Amino acid sequence: MAIRLEDKHQIVSEVNEAATSALSAVLADYRGVSVSALTQLRKNARQNNVYLRVVRNTLLKRAVAGTEFECIQDALVGPTILAFSMEDPGAAARVLKDFAKANDKFEIKALSVGGKLLGADQIDALATLPTYDQAVSMLMSVMLAPITKLVQTFNEVPTKVTRVVAAVRDQKQAA
């Protein structure tokens, strides 16, 4: 089906706008996946704030030109579904990885982070990145650990003194 020139310009500008504010990108081949499964994928993507779009490769090449995702142009072969992570760098990778587990025909082609093109085998590294809340939680636990250890150490001194006094008392009572 032919796309009008105005529609092509609109698609390119929308994808370019998403690419300029995205943190990471994941490309996948969706051949053989049912429409209902793709609808579920789109729903999951919306819930995780992932920009998901099927775009013609020629339009996608124009859209990512001049952005940090320009490196994905080499991976644009065959039907491609594009996912941009907007808030969490690993969100798109997690959504597409989970979808690929459930659908054998869905194949992840490549991913890009920080202007570098990574192979599909690197999806686990990106998908296992902690979310913002998880990272803050990990940082807080690391910051709180020395204080907790100090309080425990201070608490040990009176406890030991109490045990020694109780032992002396028991010894005198026994004598």
**What is the full DSSP assignment across 76-131?**
--SS-EEEEESSSTTHHHHHHHHHHHH-TT-EEEEEEETTEEEEGGGHHHHHTSPP
Do 169 and 104 reside in the same domain of the chain? no
Q: Last residue of some domain: 94, 109, 129?
A: 129
Q: What is the pLDDT of residue 1?
A: 62
**Confidence label for 90 from pLDDT (cuts 50, 70 and 90):** confident
Q: What is the pLDDT of residue 62?
A: 87
- Give the span between the Cα atoms of 65 and 73, in whole angstroms: 9
Q: Are 21 and 64 in contact (CB under 8 A)?
A: no
For 172, the token pair is 């005198």
- Higher confidence at residue 126 or residue 11? 11
Do 138 and 106 reside in the same domain of the chain? no
Do 68 and 78 reside in the same domain of the chain? yes
Domain with 17 in it: what CATH number? Answer: 3.30.70.1730
**Confidence label for 161 from pLDDT (cuts 50, 70 and 90):** confident
**Confidence label for 2 from pLDDT (cuts 50, 70 and 90):** confident
Q: What is the pLDDT of residue 43?
A: 93
Compute the mean pLDDT over every residue in the chain, rounded to the nearest whole number.
85
> pLDDT tens-digit profile of 38-85?
899 899 888 988 989 888 888 888 888 888 888 888 888 888 899 988
Do 9 and 80 reside in the same domain of the chain? yes
Q: Which domain holds residue 146?
A: 131-175
Do 170 and 120 reside in the same domain of the chain? no
Per DSSP, the three-state class of 54 is strand
Do 17 and 53 reside in the same domain of the chain? yes
Do 64 and 147 reside in the same domain of the chain? no
Do 73 and 144 reside in the same domain of the chain? no
Q: What is the pLDDT of residue 77?
A: 85
> pLDDT tens-digit profile of 91-145?
888 888 889 888 888 888 888 888 788 887 777 777 777 777 878 888 898 888 8
Do 36 and 103 reside in the same domain of the chain? yes
Do 136 and 65 reside in the same domain of the chain? no
Do 89 and 169 reside in the same domain of the chain? no
Counting the structural domains of the chain, the total is: 2
Residue with tokens 């940082």: 139
Do 50 and 115 reside in the same domain of the chain? yes
